[in-house]
Structures are given as structure tokens and as C-alpha cells.
Structure 1
């Protein structure tokens, strides 16, 4: 595990030269790193598949980047400077759960908008502690730790904001229009592509902190594990689009989520709810409701003001 600040910063500087030379002195000055630190960061980028030429007494030139599918760890490189989230990104090759790790690091550091990404989750989970299968290299698995300015009864709005953020990003980058299934799924051709989980700690007046995790199937079938793990009815973005840049997709989702959470704090969810109600495929359908006390079926009539599903039995 490592923080991505130096790697992301150096990549940005190299990319901004547009094929030119970045001097070690300039990189050292901008990033506040020693020459040795710059050299080590160059090696980190090379290990991730970046082609970087070293020109004696001049500096470094970015020659090539890894394939689109191999760079989810560089999400921070694509986040707009105007978005304060994602300045601190932690990347793991394998992790039990991005959600648990993000909560732990976030509560220790207090960093708003901290992100944890993993290539693989061995104990990923969804709502009601259901297992979320996350084979290595098959998807985009990450969690964002933040501090929304909301009362505790409105946590479900964060989940809806996350769903809309994913939908908007996939449509913009992949040209695919996913449907929203309340409360935390996104579907393509009626098959699950993405699951979302939002958890929070709160007192009687406010949400103290929140962690939203997302699991997006990018190329699940390519791992050969779809049948083995019981995901025969799942779908992947690669079923519908040729190429998915996981790093860029993560960046746009993070930007969208930051904007939407900020809007929740200013308009109380009015615009969010209007958009979600117009996009939710669950409304009008017969659904099965399972609570601790009973199970019943009914018609989903609308999304309430706190993001709840209103069902008439």
C-alpha cells in the first residue's frame, strides 16, 4: 500500500510536457521531493507499465502509458484540479475490502475525499453483508471516505447520489445508458453491472463521516470466474463497449460524487431526487420487501424525500 500523491503528481508533470523533457530539478521543486525521491517515483511509474526515457543531464520523457485496462491506480491523474477529493489515494493489489480499509485510514487521517482502490477484493460485500465477488483484474473496486453535511436520516440520499454519479460517468465515457435499480444497483440489459454500499457513523444531529464503496464489473467474463462464482446473471461493461479506461472512469465518478454530495448540502436533495425519480427503473414494478419482521410484495410507487422506496401492498 502506498499513497499516490508523488506518483500522480509526477505523472501529471510528465504528461504536461507533451513529449518534452521534464528536468529532475523542476520535478523536485514542484513536488517538494529530493532528486532521489523523484528517481524512486520514476521507478514506481515504470513498474506500473509506463515507458519513461532518462536523458542524462536533461531529465525524463514520457514515452508510453500502460493499456487502458491496466491503470485504475492512476485515477487521481485524471481528477480535475477543481475537485478536492482524491488528493489522497491508496492503492492495493489485493485487499479484503476497500470499504473497511477506507474507513480505517479515513478515521485515522481525517482526510475528506480519501480514496482506496484495489485490483481484487477477497471479502467484498454489499448490502445486508451479501458477498460481492471481485476477481483480480475484472473490475473497478474502490471506496471514498468523506464528511457530508447531512442529518443522519438522509444517508440514503448519498447512495442515490452515487448511483447517479456512476450512471453519468458510464454514459459520458462509454456511451452506455445504465438503468438504476433502487437502492444500490445499476443494470445493463436487466443484468447487474454495479453495486454500491454507503455506510456512516452519526449522532442524533449529523452524519459524522460516510464511506461509499462501488464495485463495477468491467470484464468479469475475461477472468473465467463468472460461472464459478455464481454470477451467471451479471453483466460487464466489456459486454457492451470495446474499451474501458478504469482510471478515467474512477476519476469521473469521484468528481460527480463530490459535486452531487455538495449539492445535497445546499439544496437538501431537491435536484437529486428529481433526477433519480426520472431515472429509476424500480418505480412502477412489483417488488418483494424483506424486513426483520415480515416479507411482502407490493408495487413500488415512488421515491420519498429521504430516498426511501414507497411501496403499496
Structure 2
């Protein structure tokens, strides 16, 4: 069960680093690592994950799914559904998912997910802006937080517990019913379908309209030339007309 064992830290390099260490030592599936502050938090594609101390929710989950490592990307969809639904339950916000690994409210990012593989395990890292209300200039126009959306400072522990419960439910669905069940849930939360998008992939830019994701989780884009192009998630950057 996700959250049955929780390791809490005041400060770590990153919760993923600590989770990887624990997983290598045999920590059970569902073990969670959370921290008040990360000195070297990281996001997808090698980006730095910025978060001031005690303002946001930063945690990682150790999973040991019985799948080949090539399918670990499916866990990002599991985590996105769990995180989004947990926030929706906790704060009645219209939280959505943005392919491949973002959590958004309206046109602004409220959280993100990173998946890292190890020998016999995967670590799912999740960061959510909870009580951060003043952002650095480089993300001020694209980021939001729970506090900004609801108009007041909120209980981070409430968010944490709701998200753990929702993540656990999503992961159990994944193990029992497979990726198709998760994709159906994810599609209901998709913020981009039907909207104009621009994706950087393999040194080129693909522009068009998002028509959803295929059964493997790749983005489907109806290009300006009238063709539908399949875009795998690895290494992609998506911009969208919100």
C-alpha cells in the first residue's frame, strides 16, 4: 500500500535520491519519502525543480511493478491521475493533466512528475506547489499553487494524505485492470485535447491540434498538413494554446 511506510526529512538533496537509496536497500513497494526542502530537486529533461522550504509538497514513491523497464513511462500516467484526483478531492479544484507529465490548473502548472528506474524498482517523484505564492520571474507567468487558486494558505499534510490515497487507488487499478483503465481516467483529465499544440521532438517542431493519446500513451497530433502524427513522450517539450 502506498504510504504504509513514510520517511520524513527536513532536508535532502532530492526525495528521489533518498528513495533510490532505500529501494536499493530493499525498501518495500509503496514506501514514500518526503522532505521539507530539497537542495538539488530535479524535474524532467534535466531541469531544476525549484521550491522554497516548507512551502510545497515534495515526495517520492518506490514501486516494484511487474513490467519491463521499457513500460515505466506508464507510471507517469498512473501518478498524474492519482495526483490530480487527490488535489481535486482535497481542495475542489479543476485540476487537469498535461501530456506527458504535468499537472495543471487552467493554463498554469501546479505540479510535475519524474520517473526514474532502478534495478527491480521505479521511483515516482512528485512535486506540487501548495503554499508558494511568489514565483521567480522565469516561471511567474506559467506557474500556480493551491494557495493561489483557493485564495488562502492550506494544510500541506491534508494535500499529502489525499494524494497518497488517490495514488494508491490508481496504482491498484493499474495492477488489476492494466494501462487501458489508467488511460481512460487520464483522458478524462486531459487539458490539451482539441487545442493547438507545438511539440519539440528530435530537433524539429510539430504543430497542429491535439487529438488525444493512443493506447501506448503517445500524443496524437493532427498536423497543419492534415496528417495525424504519433509523438512518443521521451524528450519532448509541449507548448499549447490554452
Same-fold status (TM-score > 0.5): yes
Match of 1:240 among 128, 145, 149: 149
1:199 Cα offset (Å): 2.0
Contact persistence 1:199–1:210 (CA under 8 A): yes
Task: String of CA shifts for 1:144-197, please: whole Å, max 9, x gaps.
Answer: 111112233432221111111112111111111112111111112311111111
The number of equivalent residue pairs is 221
1:237 Cα offset (Å): 0.4
**Residue 298 (1) aligns with residue 208 (2):** yes
After TM superposition, the structure 1 = structure 2 runs for residues 245-260 of structure 1, keeping only pairs within 5 Å, are 245-260=155-170
Q: Which has the higher helix share?
A: 1
Which residue of the partner structure matches residue 220 of structure 1? 132
1:109 Cα offset (Å): 2.4
Give, in whole Å, the separation in 1 of the partners of 2:52 and 2:97: 24
Give, in whole Å, the separation in 2 of the partners of 1:305 and 1:287: 20
Structure 2 length-normalised TM: 0.84
Match of 1:210 among 122, 126, 131: 122
Dislocated runs of 4+, deviation >4 Å = none
The SS at the match of 1:255 is helix
Query: Which runs of no fewer than 5 residues in structure 2 stay unpaired?
Result: 224-242
Which residue of the partner structure matches residue 164 of structure 1? 81
Query: Which runs of no fewer than 5 residues in structure 1 stay unpaired?
Result: 1-83, 203-207
Structure 1 length-normalised TM: 0.66
Give, in whole Å, the separation in 1 of the partners of 2:87 and 2:3: 19
Give, in whole Å, the separation in 2 of the partners of 1:216 and 1:267: 27
1:243 Cα offset (Å): 4.7
Q: Bigger radius of gyration, 1 or 2?
A: 1
Give, in whole Å, the separation in 2 of the partners of 1:262 and 1:306: 19
The SS at the match of 2:154 is coil
**Residue 85 (1) aligns with residue 2 (2):** yes
After TM superposition, the structure 1 = structure 2 runs for residues 35-74 of structure 1, keeping only pairs within 5 Å, are none
Which residue of the partner structure matches residue 238 of structure 2? none
Give, in whole Å, the separation in 2 of the partners of 1:86 and 1:281: 28
1:130 Cα offset (Å): 1.0
The CA RMSD measured in Å over matched residues stands at 1.9
Contact persistence 1:150–1:265 (CA under 8 A): no
